[in-house]
Amino acid sequence: MTNEDKISATCLFWDANPCDGQGSFEARKKFRYLKEPWILPEIEEIARKHRSILEIGCGQGVDGLIMCGIIPPDGRYVGLELSKVSLDSARQAAQQLAEQLNSTPLYRKGNAENLGLESDSFECVYSMGVLHHTPDIEKAVREVHRVLAPGGKAYIALYRTFSPKILAALLLRWVQGCCDKILSSEKIFYKLFKKVPAQRFLGTALLECFGVPILHSFTHREIHELFSNFEETHTKTVSLGLPTIGINKFIEPLTLFLGSMWFVEATKGNK
């Protein structure tokens, strides 16, 4: 399967399963920040610090619309998304919230490996748990570096290999692959969970685990190799993302050991 085929398959998956599920913007917002309480203070700080923001993989628009309510009126936010279904949902939410926004978001369909944007054009690139789903992540990170202005910052969340959640996901994907070979089936567990109406409580976590075509994860060393073109890189572990939403904020100190993602802050050099 070529890279283009993999990207097309990824698009089809997210069209069928928009990230986090949930029918309305308010429901998506509540679900997201109960499940991942660390995200909200991060994006609020990002929006206060930067006037031009590109979000790669904006999904149904929750984080981007929060940022558009904070950045100044002369600021610029562009949300790039592979899934047309998700883009339509984000645009609908932006129309509903128009009076609450300082800056009107611009949404574009596209993929992380070919941004189609001018070089050196954004102060900030933000991507929350997206780039680990693209086939050639090295190319995607080079694109992030290219579109950042000198001195600009990238804030990227990527799956952390040696965390319980990701190790379990990789094991479950392997088990599904074995079952598929034995039963001559295709993504048997994904099709099973697709029939279970659990998105209200679990979001798209199980569907992603079993159905998303590409799922990369990284060690600390691999993260620093991936961002080696940047002048400075800082990482921290984040995201418990437990299905029992609402308890995560009380056990956030455990993310140092159990966090399922790296949150990378990378600075492009001034040269």
Question: What's 250's domain CATH number?
Answer: 3.40.50.150
On whether the CB atoms of residues 38 and 109 are closer than 8 A, the answer is no
Nearest to 68 by CA among 92, 104, 26, 44: 104
Taking only Cα atoms into account, the Rg of the chain, rounded to an integer number of angstroms, comes to 18
Q: What are phi and psi of 144, to 5 degrees?
A: -60, -50
Q: Is there a domain that residue 65 lies in?
A: yes
Q: What are phi and psi of 202, to 5 degrees?
A: -110, -10
Q: How many CB atoms lie within 10 A of CB 39?
A: 20
Q: What whole-number percentage of the chain has pLDDT above 70?
A: 93
- 24 vs 84 pLDDT, higher one: 84
Total domains in the fold of the chain: 1
Range with the poorest average pLDDT among 9-13, 128-132, 248-252? 248-252
Mean pLDDT value of segment 32-51: 92
Range with the poorest average pLDDT among 17-21, 159-163, 218-222, 228-232? 17-21
pLDDT score for 90: 95
Q: How many CB atoms lie within 10 A of CB 18?
A: 21
Q: Is there a domain that residue 257 lies in?
A: yes
Q: Is there a domain that residue 17 lies in?
A: yes
pLDDT score for 4: 87
Q: Is there a domain that residue 195 lies in?
A: no
Q: Is there a domain that residue 204 lies in?
A: no
Q: Is there a domain that residue 111 lies in?
A: yes
Q: Is there a domain that residue 186 lies in?
A: no
d(CA 127, CA 111): 12
Range with the poorest average pLDDT among 3-17, 124-138, 199-213? 199-213
Residue 257 pLDDT more than 90?
no
Residue 249 pLDDT more than 80?
no
User: Which residue range is the domain that position 77 belongs to?
Assistant: 3-159+214-267
pLDDT score for 193: 84
pLDDT score for 23: 74
Sequence-ordered list of residues with C-beta below 8 angstroms from that of 8, at least 6 positions apart, any chain: none
Residue type, 263: F
Q: Is there a domain that residue 86 lies in?
A: yes
On whether the CB atoms of residues 243 and 201 are closer than 8 A, the answer is yes
